[in-house]
Amino acid sequence: MSTVVASCSIRAPAEQLFALSQDYDLRRDWDPFTGSMSFLDGATETRKGARVRFRSRQGLTMIVEFVQVRPPKVVAMMMRSGPWFIRRFAGSWTFRSVDESSTLVTFRYSLEARPALLGAPLRWVLAREFNDRLAGMKEAAENTDILTRLRSSTP
């Protein structure tokens, strides 16, 4: 499997960015890749073992299972079913506090394409998508009211 990594420093606390990343109601406001996400099997929150159906705005659909959830530091998932051209897919989002008001957010995904010759183009597309997603999170967190809306939507 090959790995694609993208990172971005965002002026916001790790706790808020982690919460924003897992708020599926607000996700479409900042994430240009996410079309829809819904929990499966009665799950209602991100936790180890929870499964989610994910559909990108481009129509890519997969079911992922959370394999590690440690707020506000990391969330990791593994594909359980997905498009025919992806044999295996797993990823993590990490949130590392740089100081009180800044966080380094890193997306790291490992994948194996089917057939293997699709690996290089797929990695290129994913790298571009990840950078766009991080830019969307940065723009939303630093230049919109999304973190205020996040706080008002949590109990």
What is the domain range of residue 48? Answer: 2-153
Q: For a pLDDT cut of 70, what percent of the chain falls above it?
A: 98
- Give the chain's domain count: 1
Could you give the CA distance from residue 73 to residue 126 in angstroms, rounded to a whole number?
Answer: 22
Q: What pLDDT, on the 0 to 100 scale, is given for residue 154?
A: 59
Contacts 24+ apart (CB under 8 A), 130-133: 130/4, 130/6, 131/6, 131/8, 132/32, 132/33, 133/31, 133/32, 133/33, 133/107
Q: What is the mean pLDDT of residues 146-150?
A: 94
Mean pLDDT of the residues in the chain: 94
For residue 151, pLDDT over 90 is answered with no
- What CATH number has the domain bearing residue 145? 3.30.530.20
pLDDT (tens digit, 9 = 90+) per residue, 53-110? Answer: 999 988 889 999 999 999 999 999 999 999 999 999 999 999 999 998 999 999 999 9
